[in-house]
Amino acid sequence: MNAPRIRIGSWFRTVNGDQFEVVAHDLEEGVVEVQFYDGTVEEYDLEDLKELQIVPTAPPEDWAGSYDLSKDDYGVDLDHPAGDTHYNPLDHLEDTD
């Protein structure tokens, strides 16, 4: 089996299901820095990374995990009524003309 290609920005999954992105590497030194979905940053040498039995994966659809954001942090009401599908903050400004 071929080893996955390590590139900055590539996403991988471990056999435990943990997802991470390669954020830096020094292939001459044999060191790779990764950031897990929950925001944890770890550094591995290539041999240790190989032992994790990683497989390439697509980036997560919900990117907020690494930023430790909750729904309240977005600054908008995401639970608007079902019939209200459009929100324009300019609608709430007074007309000064």
Tell me if 53 sits within 8 A of 15, measured CB to CB.
Answer: yes
pLDDT of the residue at 52: 85
pLDDT of the residue at 53: 87
Q: Provide the residue-wise pLDDT of the chain in tens; the chain has 97 residues.
A: 456 788 999 999 998 899 999 999 998 898 999 999 888 999 999 889 888 889 999 988 865 555 555 555 555 555 555 455 556 667 767 766 6
In the CATH scheme, what architecture does the domain 1-68 have? Answer: Roll (2.30)
pLDDT of the residue at 93: 73
pLDDT of the residue at 88: 67
pLDDT of the residue at 60: 85
Q: What angle do CA 33, 35, 38 make, to 5 degrees?
A: 160
What is 22-81 written as a DSSP string?
Answer: EEEEETTTTEEEEEETTS-EEEEEHHHHHHTT-EE-PPPS-GGGGGT--GGGGSS-TT--
What distance in Å separates the CA atoms of residue 31 and residue 82, rounded to the nearest whole number? 50
pLDDT of the residue at 55: 92
